[in-house]
Structures are given as structure tokens and as C-alpha cells.
Chains A and B, each alone.
Chain A
């Protein structure tokens, strides 16, 4: 039963992902991406990582997708459905992707992962919190540098003096 839930969510995620990269309208793509991200959040929940799922919804769906939509609106005419969204190298790209996929699943299949059932305790929020404040305090703090940099960068590049 549980498996079925997973299959459904995973299936949705995959289908949405494919749609997100193939749809003509970029706006639709962004929406399909949102759906994919939501499905992935569902997977997180399924994996008993609710915190991460929540973050996924908040940051990704709430933040990033919104940004995307803004950007799409700002870059006006590209919504037009008549504009081709696939470039000329789609065929080699598809082949490469398929090949890569094939290689990956072959490799994964040969690895003892395929049948592993979880045996460890669920990582609780407390554990994550403690980790962030102790062992991973440095990257956690450092994240602020990245975010600040991105922020300032966005302002510097984005602002236009008239």
C-alpha cells in the first residue's frame, strides 16, 4: 500500500518533470516544475523527512517558482506558443540523456542498494538542528555569504540607473 503511494508520487514527479522540460509554453513549464517539486516534497514526506518537505514547498514552490514566473513575465514575448522551444540538437541530447540514464540504472542495479530496507532510526528535526549548530555550523554560517552575495549581486546586476 505504502509502495503504491510512492509509485504514484514518483510517477507523477517523473511525468511532471518530462512535461516541465518539453512543454512549449515556458509559463506552463514553470507550472509543471512546480508540480514536480511538489511531488518531490511528497517523496520527502514519504521518506519521513517532513522538515525538508516543508522547506521544499516553502522555498522552492513558494520562492523560486515565483521568481521564475516574474522572470517569465519580465521577458515578455517568450510566452508565445508559436515559438519553438527545442533547439536543433535535441536528438543528440536525447540520445545522450538516454544513454546516461541507461548507464546509471545499470550501475545502480549492480550496486547492493536495490533491495536495501531502512534499518536506521528516523532523522529527527532535533538531530538536524543540532547538526546545523554543531558539526555543520561552518557551512550553515557560510550559507549566509552565498545568500548575501546572491542578494547583492541581484541588486547590482538588476538595478538600472536611468
Chain B
């Protein structure tokens, strides 16, 4: 079977891609997308470790399950916030939101 290292490699890649996206996307929804990548990276780790290292109570999978649910909740809240600010400022580009600075 595939060595564990490949899974971690993949998750690291997704994680970094997500970070990159978070840092560079102008669009708030784009950032949200990138954040999902980060969460998935962690989930891959969790599931892979759960399988490779063994766990009597399947903790990795349980946590991954929670993460999926939380990701859904967070996305909902995030999207609502995006809609709210879109309503107020008519923009979804991050750099437009600098009423408060310095």
C-alpha cells in the first residue's frame, strides 16, 4: 500500500496552496475557497493517520467528520458575512474594506 509519506505530502501541498490562495485572492469567496482547501488538507492527514497508525476509537475520522460539519457552519457564516458586506459596501474585494486602519 502507498506509504504514509505520500498522504502527508499531498496534504502539505493542499495546505500551502490554500495558504497561497488566502493570501492572494482578491475575492472574498476566493479566500473562502482557499480556506476549504486548508481544512481538507488537515482532514486528509487525519484520515490517513487514522488508518496508518491505528486507533481503537477512530478518532481521526471522528475529528474529520467534525471538521466537515464545522466547515459547513463556518462557510455559511462566512458567506453570510460576505453578503452582508456586499450589501453595505457593494464590493467583495478585500482591499476595498479599509475603513478601519492604522
A100 to B92, CA, bound (A): 28
Interface residues on chain A, number (Cβ under 8 Å): 89
The B11-41 residues at the A interface (CB cut-off 8 A) are 12-21, 23-27, 29-30, 32-34, 36-37, 40
B interface, size bucket: 35 or more
Q: Known contacts A120-B53, A143-B66; is A109 also within 8 Å of B5 by CB?
A: yes
Contacts of A147 in B (CB 8 A): 69, 72-73
Whether the pair B30, A85 counts as a contact (CB closer than 8 A) is yes
Interface class of chain B by DSSP: helix
Contacts of A83 in B (CB 8 A): 26
Interface class of chain A by DSSP: helix
Whether the pair A127, B10 counts as a contact (CB closer than 8 A) is no
Contacts of A78 in B (CB 8 A): 27, 29, 92
Instruction: Please name the residue on chain B nearest to A22 by beta carbon.
Output: B21
B38 to chain A, nearest CB (A): 10
Contacts of B12 in A (CB 8 A): 101, 104-105, 108
Instruction: Please name the residue on chain B nearest to A48 by beta carbon.
Output: B51
Contacts of A157 in B (CB 8 A): 77, 80-81, 83-84
- On A, residues with C-beta under 8 Å from B are 2-3, 6-7, 10, 13-14, 17-18, 20-21, 26, 29-30, 33, 36-37, 40, 43-44, 46-49, 51-52, 55-56, 59-60, 63-64, 67-68, 70-72, 74-75, 78, 83-87, 89-90, 93-94, 96-98, 100-101, 104-105, 108-109, 113-123, 127-128, 130-132, 135-136, 139-140, 143, 146-147, 149-151, 153-154, 157-158, 160
